Structure 1
Amino acid sequence: MKIPFAPPFIDEDVIAEVVDTLKSGWITTGPKVKALEDEVARLTGTPDVLCVNSWTSGAILILKWFGITEGDEVIIPAYTYSATALAVLHCGGTPVMVDINDDFTVDVDKIKEALTERTKVIMPVDIAGLTCDYDAINELVQSENVRRKFTPASENQNKLGRILVLSDAAHSIGAFYNNRPTGTLTDITIFSFHAVKNITTAEGGAICINLPEPFDNTGEYKTMRLWTLNGQTKDAFTKSLGGSSNWKYDIIFQGLKINMPDICAALGVAQLRKYEAVIMPERKRVAERYHSFFQSKDWAQIPVMKDEKRTACYHLYALRINNITEEQRDEMMVSIAEDDVAVNVHFIPMPMLTLFKNLGFKIEDFPKSYDNYSREISLPIYPQLTNEQIDFICHSVEKAYNTIL
């Protein structure tokens, strides 16, 4: 029984939406992208949503928009994919890594310890579909003591008057915190629509703009949209409409080229229309069947999917094995692969990667990150999995554990 790790959800509705785009004669940024933005806004309740070609480029856009430059510090967890830190480095800023909690989310006490007068942004990372403790993070940046230390150095920093909270929600579209959906929990939220995500556009992302007054969110959406198109005042779709002046445009600042094309947006539009009724319930079914098997095993630590504040969106099933070494975990994964079951690890902590080691980061400074990483195995979780396949995966993991330990 061959079981892949994370195939995309492609049904006839998704195919029809893509074919409709191909037949329309317009495949780059146009009406399908706007439809996708509207669907994300509907799902999240966010005032304005801007689609881009990846989570990473969206993060670079926001950091540049906020004025991050050399010497500015952005606090991030050590336990995340490298894109979180790379976006900061691409803007000339300094990533400041902190450790995490047992549930994989960033430790707010560690954030407090890392704050300096150079801190401009805090970027919490939702992991496996579970949100961070946003009440604590938002209270921290709003506190008088922290606001007093904030030194603005750009127009938008002056306007906000405090540290920006930029949520890395690559994993958490559809998750809830205090009965509120991700997208509305912080100043800015960025989702990923990469191929393995709950909602995919093959490659892509969405920026949810939820800034407080005196910001005009719709106005900021329009400005950020220009950022995605090289700072050009008219997009290709508008220019294609014809007319005596539609072709005329201007470049008003040094933007980026990170717009999402319609051919990609079409996938996400079709998926989002059945996300709440079909995709999420089926992912939950898979997670709960895993839970029912592993919760009785004293060697298994099941992931948090729901607590008093949070409901996950079942993006990953991040199983941890108790009292095991990194090497033994790797041996278990080899054994599982021999059963033709594809599993993964989320993530290798950044201080273990060459780039970040060369920047002076040491995994010894992040003990919880290493402990979680060394024992974690991500199991397949997607709507197409049958109960028979889920049971096969469970028994493959149990067999691997019994073989190795």
Structure 2
Amino acid sequence: MKIPFSPPFVDQAVIDSVMDTLHSKWITTGPKVKELEQEMLKLTGSKAAICVNSWTSGAIMMLKWFGVKEGDEVIVPAYSYCATALCVLHAGAKPVMVDVLDDFTIDPIKVRQAITERTKAILAVDIAGWPCNYTLLNTIVKDSSVTMMFYPETENQLKLGRILLISDAAHSIGATYQGVPAAQKSDITIFSFHAVKNITTAEGGCICLNLPDAFDIEKEYTFLKMYSLNGQTKDAFTKTMGTCWKYDIIFNGLKINMPDICAAIGLAQIRQYKDLLLPVRKKIAHKYCNTFRLFSWFVPPPLLDSERESSYHLFPLRVRDITEEGRDQIINYLISKGITANVHFIPMPMLTYFKSIGYQIEDYPNSYKQYACEISLPIYPQLTNVEIDYVIINVINAVKEQLYRSKKVLKNAS
């Protein structure tokens, strides 16, 4: 049996949506992108949604929009995909990495300790679909002792009057926090529509705004749409609608707009998300949990508590008392059985580039601890019950074999 890690969900509705776009003869930014933005507003309850060509480019744009520049600092978790810090570097600022909690999310206490007069933003990452503790993070950025340290240097920084809280929600579309979409708990939430995400546009992302009342949201939406299209006052679709063809470039923008051909894929998926795609992911996650919790080696992933519910993007299996090498042997066993597993993530300080600019994994012990025992199992709507059972039995056998080996090595060493 061959079980891939995370193939995109492509059903007839997706195919029909893409074909409709192709037959329309309009494949770049146009009506399908606008429809997807409207669907994102329905799903997240946000004030505005701007679709772009990737999470990374959206994050770079929003940091620049806020005026983040050389000499500034942005706090990020060490346990994340590289884009979380690379976007800060592309904006010219310094990523200040802090450690994470046992639930994979950024540690609010470490965040508070890392804040300086140069801190302009916090990028909190919802790992595996599990929302960060936004109650504490909002309390921190709004605390008077913290706001007194904030020195606004741009119009947007002056309007906000404090550190900007951005949610890296690449994994958490559909997650909830205190009974509402988790996206509403940050100033800005940025989603990914990469091929392996719960909703995909092949490549793409979406910026959701929930800025305070000091901001004119409609004005910000219009500005950001221009920003994503080279600072151009009129997009190509608008120019074909019988209006004047003339346009202007009014500032130095980016070229990161999403095309309609990509939005068409996401549209077909998002319209099935709450009633079909997300419930199936949840069902698989709970089946994994209900079986693995019979074993003492199983460390349950955070899925649901009194305030939060995951989007079930990943199933981050953790094996108690396993070494990094032992974890890798378990993955190799699964691969030998045709099961593709993954690891989320290699902490950024372990990567060559970040090591070369001074980050050391020894400074983030809990990030390493979570990484060393984590295995991301397949979880997606196309998995059959037979395939899920096959994954489960092979995980159990793989862990059993590895723990036996470990005990044998320890016995021989003694």
Q: Deviations over 1:146-186 (max 9, x none)?
A: 00000111111111110000110000000001111022111
1:10 matched to 2:20: no
- Cα distance in 2 for partners of 1:253, 1:3 equals 48
Corresponding residue for residue 292 of structure 1: 290
Corresponding residue for residue 340 of structure 1: 338
- Cα distance in 2 for partners of 1:171, 1:257 equals 24
Corresponding residue for residue 214 of structure 2: 214
Cα displacement (A) at 1:66: 0.3
Cα displacement (A) at 1:241: 2.3
Corresponding residue for residue 368 of structure 1: 366
Output the amino acid matched with 1:122: I
Secondary structure of the corresponding residue to residue 125 of structure 2: coil
1:3-152 map, 5 Å: 3-152=3-152
Corresponding residue for residue 318 of structure 1: 316
- Cα distance in 2 for partners of 1:166, 1:207 equals 10
Cα displacement (A) at 1:388: 1.2
Corresponding residue for residue 306 of structure 2: 308
- Cα distance in 1 for partners of 2:22, 2:11 equals 17
Q: Deviations over 1:231-263 (max 9, x none)?
A: 0000010112244x2x10000000000000000
Output the amino acid matched with 2:381: P
Output the amino acid matched with 1:333: I
Q: Deviations over 1:71-122 (max 9, x none)?
A: 1000000000000000000010000000000000010000011000000001
Corresponding residue for residue 257 of structure 1: 255
- Cα distance in 2 for partners of 1:237, 1:54 equals 21
Secondary structure of the corresponding residue to residue 184 of structure 1: helix
1:176 matched to 2:169: no
Q: Pick the aligned partner of 1:328 from 320, 323, 326.
A: 326
- Cα distance in 1 for partners of 2:345, 2:62 equals 24
Q: Deviations over 1:184-208 (max 9, x none)?
A: 1110000000000000000000000
- Cα distance in 2 for partners of 1:17, 1:378 equals 31
- Cα distance in 1 for partners of 2:28, 2:178 equals 38
Cα displacement (A) at 1:390: 0.7
Output the amino acid matched with 2:91: C
Secondary structure of the corresponding residue to residue 191 of structure 2: strand
Output the amino acid matched with 1:169: A
Secondary structure of the corresponding residue to residue 219 of structure 2: helix
Output the amino acid matched with 1:362: Q
Q: Which consecutive aligned stretches of 4+ in structure 1 deviate over 6 angstroms post-superposition?
A: none
- Cα distance in 1 for partners of 2:132, 2:399 equals 30
Corresponding residue for residue 383 of structure 2: 385
Output the amino acid matched with 1:328: G
Q: Pick the aligned partner of 1:277 from 272, 275, 279.
A: 275
Output the amino acid matched with 2:400: N
- Cα distance in 1 for partners of 2:136, 2:278 equals 27
Output the amino acid matched with 2:263: A
Corresponding residue for residue 403 of structure 1: 401
Q: Deviations over 1:9-30 (max 9, x none)?
A: 1111111000000000000000
Secondary structure of the corresponding residue to residue 345 of structure 1: coil
- Cα distance in 2 for partners of 1:404, 1:100 equals 27
- Cα distance in 2 for partners of 1:178, 1:241 equals 43
Output the amino acid matched with 2:153: A
Output the amino acid matched with 2:143: S
- Cα distance in 2 for partners of 1:45, 1:316 equals 23
Cα displacement (A) at 1:47: 1.2
Secondary structure of the corresponding residue to residue 148 of structure 2: helix
- Cα distance in 1 for partners of 2:217, 2:165 equals 15
Output the amino acid matched with 2:329: E
- Cα distance in 1 for partners of 2:152, 2:289 equals 47
Secondary structure of the corresponding residue to residue 185 of structure 2: coil
Kindly, what percent of the aligned residue pairs are identical? 59
Q: Deviations over 1:245-290 (max 9, x none)?
A: 2x10000000000000000000111111110100011001110110
Q: Which moved more, 1:8-17 or 1:24-33?
A: 8-17
- Cα distance in 2 for partners of 1:105, 1:366 equals 13
Output the amino acid matched with 2:193: F
Secondary structure of the corresponding residue to residue 166 of structure 1: strand
Report the RMSD for the aligned CA atoms in angstroms: 0.7
Secondary structure of the corresponding residue to residue 49 of structure 1: strand
Output the amino acid matched with 1:251: I
Cα displacement (A) at 1:214: 1.1
- Cα distance in 2 for partners of 1:135, 1:238 equals 41
